[in-house]
Amino acid sequence: MSPEKLLVSADVDRWLFGEAWTGSRIQEQVRMLCDTIGPRWSGTDAEWQTIEHIEKTLQGYGLDRVDVEEFEFTSWTWSKAEARCSVEGREGGFSLDILPFIRCPSFHMEAPVVDVGFGAQREIDAAGSLNGVVALVALAHEPFTTPVPPAYRLRQIAAAGAAAAIVVDPKSGGRREYHSAQDARDPNFTEPPLPCVAATREDAARIRRSPSCRVHLDVRTEAPVVKSANVHAVLEGDRWPAEDLVLGGHHDTVFGTPGGNDNSSGTIAVLETARVLSQLRASCGQRPGRSIHFVTYAAEEQGFHGAREFVDRHYAGDHRLRLAFNLDELSAGAMKGIVLGFPHLRSLVQEQLDSMGDGLACHVMAQLDNSSDHFPYLRIGIDAAHLWRWRFRARHADADYHHEPPDTADKLNVRELKEYAAQMSRLLLRLSRVAPDAWPQLGIPADEAKARVQAEQGTVVRVS
């Protein structure tokens, strides 16, 4: 790009990278989120402690506005999850280490266990009658076949008459984590199609070694209406302040995990990018051209409630933002680029990445990704993106933890997170200075996006 077309000077780039690196507050943030507060399921006191901390942090960075935007939603919690197997002709039995699926109802039953493999329809048919049984099914996809989301395989199992399902976590070493069985693309598929619990692969192997196995399951859950909130801060633009860019990431975790990677990494990257860009204005007088909104979303782990609320509150009408970025699980790997939901911004974003000189690439998802907080934007045709990194393949071995207790503070990669904050600061500043008439278009029509979402229900989103 020629010097006269540069939107950000080399001196500003050097300042941004230097401030992101040497002025970093990452260590103090991770200590607060992971060690002092810890697990922060939305609607709990711990989440409200998180919200207050984020609000205070952003206020201290000198942004133009910081708001706590409250809302209510139906949450979910559990108080008991026990399972014990008995084998005909053998004394005693053995216990299973289980976790209920998110939004699993309460249930109490004893029934035979029937192994249905991966839950493919041919395996269900071959298993014989499933009426009243507990199905044992792998969470992983069957090798070499067209992948079917676990929620839809569980729906097939429920349709065959099974009373409940034990779902085998693919991780080894006695690990199991919280899972969901729903499809955000289908408003009628928001809860598991039958009672489901996750079990370790070691316990599943023991069940398979135990013919005529019966299981006693006792799970108690509740679905209270709770109050939660997004934290929303704004750094106003000096040229087109009514035009918006959004950088967001969820601040909640599942039960029992401090969420070093998922998603202290994304939360802290939002805070650090806000700090760097606000400090650029204070120290150098450099402002964004259009306004940049920094958001930490509530209740991502419970169905993107926070992001949905934010989109409905600010962008459900005629006002459309330019582009929203979602930061989730950043410590899974180093930044490689940007992944867009729609193709019309690809050339524009790639041009800005090229000007940064670090070989970052822009790609476009083949489907509208329903895995995180960018989906509430995409579902109504608003441009949204997430970061391309090694999340799904070849992720860092020491960050290969998700909804489980070992996702602790040490799983957050501080050095890489400094780079994320620096690169997002550079990219957002560039995009904020692109003239409105050089912006290709604002999203796609909501009806077109809705049709795509409906057509893609029941498919596995391609991630590589």
Q: Where are the alpha helices (DSSP H) in 169-304?
A: 201-208, 266-284
* Pairing assessment for the beta strands 323-326 and 98-100 based on DSSP bridges: unpaired
Report helix, strand or coil for 50: helix
Reported pTM: 0.95
The pLDDT assigned to 398 comes to 81
| CA max distance for the chain | 84
Q: DSSP characters for 83-105?
A: EEEEETT-SS-EEE-EEEPTTPP
Measured from the Cβ of residue 203, the count of other Cβ atoms closer than 10 Å reads 22
- Which residues of the chain register pLDDT less than 70? 1-6, 389-394, 464
Alpha carbon distances (Å) from 212 to 23, 133, 219: 62, 12, 23
Single-letter amino acid, residue 100? P
The rounded distance, in Å, linking the Cα atoms of 413 and 444 is 36
| d(C-alpha 295, C-alpha 378), whole Å | 17
Report DSSP state, residue 302: G
Three-state SS at 179: coil
Q: 259 and 382 in contact (C-beta within 8 Å)?
A: no
Per-residue tokens: 408: 């602790």
What is the pLDDT at residue 6? 59
Between CA 36 and CA 444 the distance in angstroms is 43
pLDDT at position 390, please? 55
Distance of CA 36 to the CA centre of its chain: 22
Query: Within 10 Å of residue 25's Cβ, how many Cβ atoms?
Result: 16
Q: Are residues 319 and 385 in contact, defined by beta-carbon separation less than 8 angstroms?
A: no
All structural domains of the chain, each given as residue ranges with its CATH number in brackets, are 3-75+225-455 (3.40.630.10), 77-222 (3.50.30.30)
What one-character DSSP code corresponds to residue 54? H
Among 228, 392, 221, 389, which Cα is nearest to 303's?
228
pLDDT given at position 4: 40
> Per the structure block, which two tokens stand in for 296?
């930490």
Tokens standing for residue 227 = 């109050």
- Strand intervals (E) in 330-448: 335-340, 361-364, 384-389
DSSP secondary structure, 131-159, as one string: TTPEEEEESSPPTTSPP--HHHHHHHHHH
Separation between Cα atoms, residue 249 and residue 374, nearest integer Å:
9
Q: What is the DSSP-derived secondary structure letter of residue 297? A: E
Name 64's Cβ contacts closer than 8 Å, sequence gap at least 6: 234, 235, 236
Q: Which two tokens stand for residue 295?
A: 């958001």
pLDDT at 2: 42
C-alpha to C-alpha distance for 9 and 5, rounded to whole angstroms? 10
Alpha-helical segments (H) within 181-243 = 201-208
Phi, psi at 7, each rounded to 5°:
-90, -20
